[in-house]
Amino acid sequence: MREFIVDTDTASDDAVALIMALRWPDVDVLAITTVSGNVEVPNAARNALITAELCGSDVPVYVGSERPLRIEPQYAHFFHGGDGLGDRGYPEPRRSPEKEHAVDALIDTIREHPGVALVTLGPLTNVAAALSREPDIAANIGSCVIMGGAACTVGNITPAAEWNLWVDPDASNIVFSSGLPIVMVGWELCRGEANLDDDEMAAVRAIGTDLARFAIDCNAAAIESNREWLGDPGLGLPDPVAMAVALDPDRVIRRASRHHVEIEHTSELTRGMSVVDQLGVRNLKPNAKVVWEIDVRRFKEMLRQSLS
């Protein structure tokens, strides 16, 4: 079994990504650590517990950083709804989060499980805090798939930046400078044909499982926002795309290459921008594998498989 840790600011697309990980046959999710981002961190933990419960999983969920390292917190209620799950009134989970802080849980779990895969679906505050405290744990991480950034394209919160890296640019800078084996999955990979259109959403709902209905219903607010605000055709799922890359990289990644990536953390205009030296003009050592293109059909097959 492959071992995963998932760090998340659990809102609607994060929940679908968690379902994929928790339902994947050869993956054991050791821990879910939650961070402030899409929603406040206690709500992120609640949403992770709700999702795990739907999957029949008792994976431990840890509450992490309540705010970015240096700047004021921001939340995406405008996109995912007030509770992060489309304000559908889901009942409270039966379990509670673990008492250990998420940063401590990250450090302990990484130390105890050499080669573990880390998948980050939210701002990188927890990961940066763990690396700042214990930098040597980077050597124990087999791969670090980051849903974050916008590789040489427009952002989704400013013209320059993607949400996760923008929320805590200081943490993003630390993580990208840490030596982790990063695979960067930018938000642009969920756009266009990678969106679920109306027919595809109907087909998911027609699967008829509680998980399939939840995957569409909890994204109700995100579907509306994605169409009206970002101009995409349906439901964009950036976190599930990143999870698909983590789960089945050989079949999902169609084009990727290694580059030096820096995260702007001092300029207000370009705060959180992922600056990919695509042409190598700065002659700096590559620090990330940047995914440029995915197999959309394979991604959607994996999504349907997880919800069936």
pLDDT more than 90, % of the chain: 98
> Taking a C-beta distance cutoff of 8 angstroms, is the pair 194, 241 a contact?
yes
Mean pLDDT value across residues 47-60: 98
pLDDT tens digits, residue range 195-213?
999 999 999 999 999 999 9
Is the model's pLDDT at 135 over the cut of 90?
yes
For the residues 36-40, what does the mean pLDDT come to? 98
Q: Which domains does the chain have, with CATH numbers?
A: 2-307 (3.90.245.10)
Q: Is 189 left (phi over 0), alpha (psi -120 to 50) or beta?
A: alpha
State the chain's mean pLDDT as an integer.
97
- φ, ψ for residue 58, nearest 5 deg: -110, 30
Task: Quote the crossing angle between the two packed helices 169-176 and 125-133, to the nearest 10°.
Answer: 50
Task: Inform me whether the pLDDT recorded for 42 exceeds 90.
Answer: yes
How much is the pLDDT for 54?
A: 97
Evaluate the CA torsion angle 11, 12, 16, 19 in order and state its sign: positive
pLDDT for 235: 96
- pLDDT, one tens digit per residue, over 214-239 is 999 999 999 999 999 888 999 999 99
pLDDT tens, position by position, 241-281: 999 999 999 999 999 999 999 999 999 999 999 999 999 99
Residue 84: what pLDDT?
A: 96
pLDDT of residue 229: 85
Residue carrying structure tokens 């450090």? 107
pLDDT of residue 177: 97
**What does 180-230 look like in DSSP terms, one character per residue?**
--EEEE-GGGGSGGGSB-HHHHHHHHHT--HHHHHHHHTTHHHHHHHHHTT
According to the model, what pLDDT value does residue 185 have? 98
